Amino acid sequence: MQQIAVEPDCWRRPRLVAAVEAAGAQVVAPDEATALVWADPQNPEAFPRLLHAQIDWVQLPYAGIDPFLHMLDNDRIWTCGKGVYAQPVAEAALGMVLAGFRHLAAYARETTWTAPVGQNLHGANVVILGGGGITEELVPLLVPFGCHVTVLRRTPNAFPGADSTRTLADLHRVLPGADAVFIALALTPETQHVISAPELALMKQSAWIVNVARGGHIDTSALISALRNESIGGAALDVTEPEPLPEGHPLWALPNCLITPHVANTPEMGLELLARRVTSNVERYLTGQDLLGPVDTRAGY
Amino acid sequence: MQQIAVEPDCWRRPRLVAAVEAAGAQVVAPDEATALVWADPQNPEAFPRLLHAQIDWVQLPYAGIDPFLHMLDNDRIWTCGKGVYAQPVAEAALGMVLAGFRHLAAYARETTWTAPVGQNLHGANVVILGGGGITEELVPLLVPFGCHVTVLRRTPNAFPGADSTRTLADLHRVLPGADAVFIALALTPETQHVISAPELALMKQSAWIVNVARGGHIDTSALISALRNESIGGAALDVTEPEPLPEGHPLWALPNCLITPHVANTPEMGLELLARRVTSNVERYLTGQDLLGPVDTRAGY
């Protein structure tokens, strides 16, 4: 019988144990297990260095699996939380672009009635970097605003709901027309600092950038310059480099920057969504179906 | 040939002159005009006391025409900006509820990386007070979030897109289930302080209230108590009582309150929308079609 370990012991574990049991599997110690559900997205040092040969499947908790990259192997199937968290993250991304366009962060800091400023999302030109789960959830939220949506992805296959689909090689061609730029990419060596000084220089003076992916996608120093010079409208960042952003970091003080502490998907929101994915995947595992969220161990996501 | 005056000289005039010309009409001095587009919503004293008999149409700029009521006559057609401004107001309302649910105002005031909090709009129970233009624009923005939408209006005729339509008499029955309450009503003696202590007491501890209508719809003292006691989740207010909200007013200091200075539709946004309406109406005027936004001179709106 296939038995599943849920490790390490942490606040997420009880809910994930319940999720495994809800699928009809038994939760056992790692030694006896044929599969491992890993409950902690943050502490890779707790992860077993060597997985014994009987473990033919590992479920990682988050969509971003950068801390575990060095452990990936081809001796078993690896799955992650990709696609699970996309809905709350897309919702947060929409809230962040509206907060930017409507200067909500600046207004929130006021203690007096100030002058009217703001721009409309209705009819805006939106560029989304990445064609994954977040973009799948974000595009439908933009549809009722009549936005013109350009998706930049690895392959230029038409993205459902987008007005235009191109590859990242076209980034410099689409940036000058963008009112809002969303980063919803995986972080890889190719996408590290995908937004740096040359990209910021191409953006409209009114354009906002929204990052709900990884801090490393943006060159922070270049962004600080652009925000200080007001060469772009502003930035709404749920992720930063460094992260957590230290006290006293210049980004905190910029009036055209909204920072949220990596909460597009809070742990509480996320655990519930992950638990549902774990139940589905355990059911699939028990019945020999393809698992959801497989990691491409070569690509690293 | 029909010729149109655009008066008085103010910052809005050049854009409205362009809007008239875009429809193919000629802009002339008032003496030679057969129609008048009035560009200033605020200074009725500048408005001509007597309109000469050749002027058979007057376009006023805003939806609320209270400053011009005493000038209305039945010697010509009067139109106003009604229906023009609902789209940006609905957009702002969505941004405000997301800002509330995701604690963006509180995060915007931080200068350090704080704990994750937030709730999802996806699947939330939404109650909207009012069944006018703002609600017409807001409901489609909520659809992709899978919200359960209840509209309270004067008559319980099913509101398009709402899951449930009731009258304001049902307010106390629907408030306990609401995750978000939007106020999008006209202010009348019946709707003054429609949200007071009893209504706030019925709301969930996590519920947010969003006001994009008039400050007088909420009893400010009762709201302050509810926010201080954290008996509701928070309030996002684009309008206040008093307005402008004076410096030092307790609402400014509450962590669960986001205040924007009546900017759901800023003058710049509004001018662009008004300009499009003016172009449409001039085209209709030139071709003898019914004009958009006619004022009922007896009802005064």
Which residues of chain B have a CB within 8 Å of the CB of A206? none
**Domain hosting residue A130, numbered range:** 86-259
- B108/A112 touch (CB, cutoff 8 Å), yes or no: no
Residues B70 and B121 in one domain: no
Active site residue B262: yes
Q: Are residues A57 and A102 in the same domain?
A: no
Please tell me the distance from the alpha carbon of residue B30 to that of residue A6, in angstroms, as a whole number: 80
Residue A149 has what pLDDT? Answer: 98
Comparing CB atoms, the residue among A108, A118, A263 nearest residue B266 is: A118
Task: Name the nearest CA neighbour of B235 among B93, B130, B134, B138.
Answer: B93
Q: HEC profile for chain A?
A: CCEEEEECCCCCHHHHHHHHHHCCCEECCHHHCCEEEECCCCCHHHCCCCCCCCCCEEECCCCCCHHHHHHCCCCCEEECCCCCCHHHHHHHHHHHHHHHHCCHHHHHHCCCCCCCCCCCCCCCEEEEECCCHHHHHHHHHHHHHCCEEEEEECCCCCCCCCCEEEEHHHHHHHHHHCCEEEECCCCCCCCCCCECHHHHHHCCCCCEEEECCCHHHECHHHHHHHHHCCCCCEEEECCCCCCCCCCCCHHHHCCCEEECCCCCCCHHHHHHHHHHHHHHHHHHHHCCCCCCCECCCCCCC
Please report residues of B whose CB lies closer than 8 A to that of A257: none
Look up residue A222 and give its amino acid: A
Min Cα separation B57/chain A (Å): 31
Rounded Cα gap, residues A198 and A214, in angstroms: 19
- Give the residue with greater pLDDT, A20 vs B154: A20
pLDDT of residue B296: 87
Write phi, then psi, for A68 (nearest 5 degrees). Answer: -105, 5
Statement to judge: residues A80 and A91 lie in one domain: no
Q: Which residues pair with A57 in a beta bridge?
A: A35, A77
Of B183, B133, B131, the C-alpha closest to B155 is: B131
Percent of chain A with pLDDT over 90: 86
Is the domain of A234 the same as that of A119? yes
**Distance in angstroms (rounded) separating the CA atoms of residues B135 and A36:** 49
**Confidence category of residue A185, pLDDT binned at 50, 70, 90:** very high
Sequence-distant contacts of A44-48: CB under 8 A, at least 24 apart:
A44/A68, A44/A71, A46/A8, A47/A71
Q: Is residue B217 part of a domain?
A: yes
pLDDT at A228 over 80: yes
**Type of residue at A154:** R
pLDDT, position A223: 98
Report yes or no: B196 at the A interface, CB cutoff 8 Å.
no
Confidence bin at A67 (pLDDT 50/70/90): confident
Residues A80 and A90 in one domain: no
Evaluate the CA torsion angle B165, B167, B169, B172 in order and state its sign. positive
> Among the three residues B222, B241, B259, which one is the final residue of a domain in this structure?
B259
Evaluate whether residue B76 is within a structural domain. Answer: yes
Residues B161 and B251 in one domain: yes
* Residue from A107, A138, A206 to probe the interface with B (highest B Cβ count within 10 Å): A107
Measured between its terminal Cα atoms, the distance across chain A in Å is 30
Q: What are phi and psi of A138, to 5 degrees?
A: -75, -40
How far, in Å, CA of B102 to CA of A257, rounded?
16
Q: Are residues A18 and A134 in the same domain?
A: no
**Non-local CB neighbours of A137 within 8 Å, separated by 6+ positions:** A86, A87, A89, A90, A91
List of residues 6+ apart from A264 with CB closer than 8 A? A85, A88, A89, A91, A92, A93, A212, A238
Beta bridge partners of A7: A38
CA distance B165 to chain A (A): 22
Q: Flag residues of chain B having pLDDT under 50.
A: none
Confidence of residue A1 (pLDDT cuts 50, 70, 90): low
The backbone region for A103, taken as left when phi is positive above 0, alpha when psi lies in -120 to 50, beta otherwise, is left
By CA distance, what is A103's nearest residue in B?
B260
Q: What is the pLDDT of residue A83?
A: 83
* Residue of chain B nearest A144, judged by CA positions: B141
Alpha-carbon span B159 to B175, nearest angstrom: 18
Q: Note whether B201 and B97 are same-domain residues.
A: yes
Asked if residue A46 has pLDDT above 90, the reply is no
SS3 per residue for chain B = CCEEEEECCCCCHHHHHHHHHHCCCEECCHHHCCEEEECCCCCHHHCCCCCCCCCCEEECCCCCCHHHHHHCCCCCEEECCCCCCHHHHHHHHHHHHHHHHCCHHHHHHCCCCCCCCCCCCCCCEEEEECCCHHHHHHHHHHHHHCCEEEEEECCCCCCCCCCEEEEHHHHHHHHHHCCEEEECCCCCCCCCCCECHHHHHHCCCCCEEEECCCHHHECHHHHHHHHHCCCCCEEEECCCCCCCCCCCCHHHHCCCEEECCCCCCCHHHHHHHHHHHHHHHHHHHHCCCCCCCECCCCCCC
State the pLDDT at residue B73: 92
Cβ contact, residue pair B259, A115, below 8 Å = no
Question: In sequence order, which residues have a C-beta less than 8 Å from that of residue A102 and are 6 or more positions away?
Answer: A118, A119, B91, B92, B95, B260, B263
Instruction: Let me know: does B35 contact B55? Beta carbons within 8 Å.
Output: yes
Interface A–B counts its CB contacts (< 8 A) at 152
Q: Please indicate, yes or no, whether residues B101 and B71 belong to a single structural domain of this protein.
A: no
Identify whether residues B43 and B18 lie together within a single domain: yes
Sign of CA pseudo-dihedral A179, A184, A185, A191 = positive
Split into its structural domains, chain B has a count of 2
Nearest-angstrom CA–CA distance, B137 and A121: 13
B243 assigned to active site:
yes
Q: Answer whether A120 sits within 8 Å of B144, measured CB to CB.
A: no
The pTM score is 0.88
pLDDT tens, position by position, A117-154: 999 999 999 999 999 999 999 999 999 999 999 999 99
What is the C-alpha separation between B134 and B87, in angstroms, rounded? 7
Beta bridge partners of B208: B180, B234
CA distance B151 to A121: 24
B157, B178: one domain: yes
Q: Whole-angstrom Cα distance, residue A80 to residue A74?
A: 15
Q: Is residue A299 part of a domain?
A: no
Name the minimum distance, in Å, from the CA of A205 to any CA of chain B: 17
| Average pLDDT for A13-29 | 96
Q: Is the pLDDT of residue A225 over 90?
A: yes
* Predicted local distance difference test score (pLDDT) of residue A49: 77
Residues 6+ apart with CB under 8 A from A278: A16, A19, A20, A23, A37, A59
**A129 in the same domain as A184:** yes
Q: How far is A215 from chain B (nearest CA, A)?
A: 14
A-contacting residues of B 206-265, CB under 8 Å? 243-248, 252-253, 258-263
Please indicate whether, in this complex, the C-beta atoms of A95 and B92 are within 8 angstroms of each other.
no
pLDDT at B1: 63
Q: Is residue A153 domain-resident?
A: yes
In a domain, B46, yes or no: yes
Which residue in A251, A175, A165, A252 sits closest to A207, CA to CA?
A175
Mean pLDDT computed over A229-240: 98
Nearest to A144 among B121, B141, B252 (CB): B141
pLDDT at position A216: 98
Residue in A104, A262, A263 closest to B258 by CB:
A104
Residue ranges of B 117-176 with Cβ closer than 8 A to chain A: 117-118, 120-122, 140-141, 143-145
Query: What's the average model confidence in pLDDT over A100-111?
Result: 97
| Closest-approach residue (CA) in chain A for B121 | A91
- Per the listing, tokens 């029955």 go with B173
Q: Residue B233 domain-assigned?
A: yes
Place A210 in a pLDDT band, splitting at 50, 70 and 90. Answer: very high
Closest approach of B269 to chain A, Cα-based (Å): 7
Predicted confidence band of residue A169 (pLDDT cuts 50, 70, 90): very high
φ, ψ (nearest 5 deg) of residue B79: -125, 160
Q: For residue B295, is it within any domain?
A: no
pLDDT in tens, B178-197: 999 999 998 888 999 999 99
CATH number at residue B113: 3.40.50.720
Measured from the Cβ of residue B239, the count of other Cβ atoms closer than 10 Å reads: 21
**The pLDDT value given to residue B42:** 82
Q: How confident is the model at residue A166 (pLDDT cuts 50, 70, 90)?
A: very high
